[in-house]
């Protein structure tokens, strides 16, 4: 594992809101969730701030971010929720300041942009999977402990097997095979929003994981097509789609999401699957950004050779 981990029972972790605000009830949920991991949450004084749909002004959110990285008592940073807002911070972050104390950070959804950029520009260990208000199921807590609280150098991440009749929760393979590469990815909307900016990331040779929520199939089609047109899928090692909850057709003329993905990726030269257990769902896997991994479509599992 990386030199900042593993966490131990009783360790303190910083809770921040770099995007959307949280309510008092959600703050209580975060406290409960963190306690179930045998960790101690440290909330900033600005946690309950609100500024429209943000959790604060850009400067307020930056100060909260710096405070979390520079707090010598906390071992990890957990983002309380997503929403919208991290892309508004990217041009203003002092990456050299953060690089002096690059402790691990965990998040998902809108936090995708922050995870990828902090890792690339400040060598921050970044983990995609949960936010503080997520539902911490047994699967999620086991995965968190395996990735972030274990001294093991090799970790197997098996997808949760959903017992659901909902089509979007049913996994399937588009292109079978095995792959090896470093992990990169996150929320589709955020990955698309980084295109054409200095904060876009290189996917060549990597296992790309992608999720989104509450988007119509045509919108998923449009964003994936934009990524194809931008050359993002050229020379990737594999593509792993999470569970796209709420992405059902909005009308009878629409393709379904499985039809969209099959049309776009059939005949693709590397493994492609849908339905790995990450995204805006319960039972979320934790993926270390840039960790070397093996993926097998038969076992539907990732083997993390080492963390970042």
Instruction: Express each pLDDT in 238-270 by its tens digit.
Output: 999 999 999 999 999 999 999 999 999 998 999
Which pLDDT score is estimated for 121? 98
**Within a domain: 142:** yes
Work out the average pLDDT over 35-56: 93
- 14, 64, 189, 280: the catalytic one is 280
Which pLDDT score is estimated for 306? 65
Contact 12, 74 (CB under 8 A): yes
Domain of 49, CATH number, reads 3.40.50.10740
Residues in the chain: 308
Domain of 269, CATH number, reads 3.50.30.60
- 119, 134, 211, 277: the catalytic one is 211
HSE, CB side, 13 Å, CA atoms: give it for residue 241: 28
**Within a domain: 6:** no
Percentage of the chain surpassing pLDDT 70?
A: 98
The last residue of a domain, from among 97, 115, 148:
148
Q: Is the pLDDT of residue 20 over 50?
A: yes
Question: Is residue 47 domain-shared with residue 169, that is, in the same domain?
Answer: no
The bridge status of strand 172-175 relative to strand 178-187 is unpaired
Mean pLDDT over each residue of the chain, to the nearest integer: 95
Tens-place pLDDT, residues 111-146: 999 999 999 999 999 999 999 999 999 999 999 999
- 14, 44, 55, 109: the catalytic one is 109
Is 280 considered catalytic here?
A: yes
Which 8-state DSSP code applies to residue 84? S
Question: Is residue 131 domain-shared with residue 164, that is, in the same domain?
Answer: no
Domain hosting 239: range is 155-306
The last residue of a domain, from among 107, 122, 148:
148
The last residue of a domain, from among 124, 148, 172:
148
**Within a domain: 4:** no
Ramachandran area for residue 269 (φ above 0: left; ψ -120 to 50: alpha; else beta): alpha
Burial class (CB in 10 A: 0-12, 13-18, 19+), 8: exposed
Sign for the CA dihedral angle at 46, 51, 55, 56 comes to: negative
Contact 186, 206 (CB under 8 A): no
Question: Is residue 58 domain-shared with residue 127, that is, in the same domain?
Answer: yes
Question: Is residue 33 domain-shared with residue 107, that is, in the same domain?
Answer: yes
Tens-place pLDDT, residues 181-238: 999 999 999 999 999 999 999 999 999 999 999 999 999 999 999 999 999 999 999 9
Which pLDDT score is estimated for 308? 47
Q: What phi, psi does 166 have (nearest 5°)?
A: -70, 125
Which 8-state DSSP code applies to residue 189? H
Report the domain count for the chain: 2
Question: Is residue 114 domain-shared with residue 173, that is, in the same domain?
Answer: no
Question: Is residue 126 domain-shared with residue 171, that is, in the same domain?
Answer: no
Question: Is residue 224 domain-shared with residue 251, that is, in the same domain?
Answer: yes
Is 128 considered catalytic here?
A: no
Which pLDDT score is estimated for 307? 53
**Within a domain: 2:** no
**Within a domain: 300:** yes
**Within a domain: 254:** yes
Nearest alpha-carbon partner for 203 in 229, 236, 225: 236
């Amino acid at each position: 594992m990386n030199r900042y981990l593993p966490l131990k029972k009783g360790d303190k972790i910083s809770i921040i809101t770099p995007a959307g605000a949280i309510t008092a009830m959600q703050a209580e949920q975060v406290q409960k969730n963190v306690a179930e991991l045998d960790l101690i949450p440290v909330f900033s004084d600005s946690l309950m701030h609100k500024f429209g749909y943000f959790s604060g002004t850009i400067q307020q959110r930056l100060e909260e971010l710096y405070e979390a990285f520079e707090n010598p008592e906390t071992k990890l940073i957990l983002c309380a929720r997503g929403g919208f807002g991290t892309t508004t911070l990217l041009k203003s972050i002092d990456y050299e300041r953060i690089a002096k104390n690059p402790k691990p950070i965990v998040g998902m959804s809108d936090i995708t942009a922050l995870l990828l950029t902090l890792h690339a520009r400040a060598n921050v260990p970044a983990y995609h999977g949960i936010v503080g208000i997520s539902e911490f199921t047994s699967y999620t807590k086991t995965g968190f402990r395996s990735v972030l609280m274990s001294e093991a150098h090799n970790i197997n991440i098996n997808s949760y097997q959903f017992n659901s009749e909902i089509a979007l929760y049913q996994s399937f393979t588009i292109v079978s095979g095995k792959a090896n590469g470093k992990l990169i990815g996150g929320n589709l909307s955020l990955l698309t929003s980084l295109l054409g900016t200095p904060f876009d990331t290189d996917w060549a040779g990597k296992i790309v994981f992608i999720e989104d929520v509450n988007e119509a199939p045509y919108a998923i089609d449009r964003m994936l097509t934009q990524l194809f047109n931008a050359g993002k899928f050229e020379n990737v090692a594999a593509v792993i789609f999470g569970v796209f909850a709420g992405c059902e057709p909005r009308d009878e003329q629409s393709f379904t999401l499985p039809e969209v993905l099959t049309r776009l990726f059939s005949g693709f030269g590397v493994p492609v699957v849908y339905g790995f257990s990450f995204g805006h769902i319960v039972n979320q896997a934790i993926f270390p950004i840039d960790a070397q991994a093996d993926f097998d479509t038969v076992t539907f599992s990732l083997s993390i050779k080492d963390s970042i």
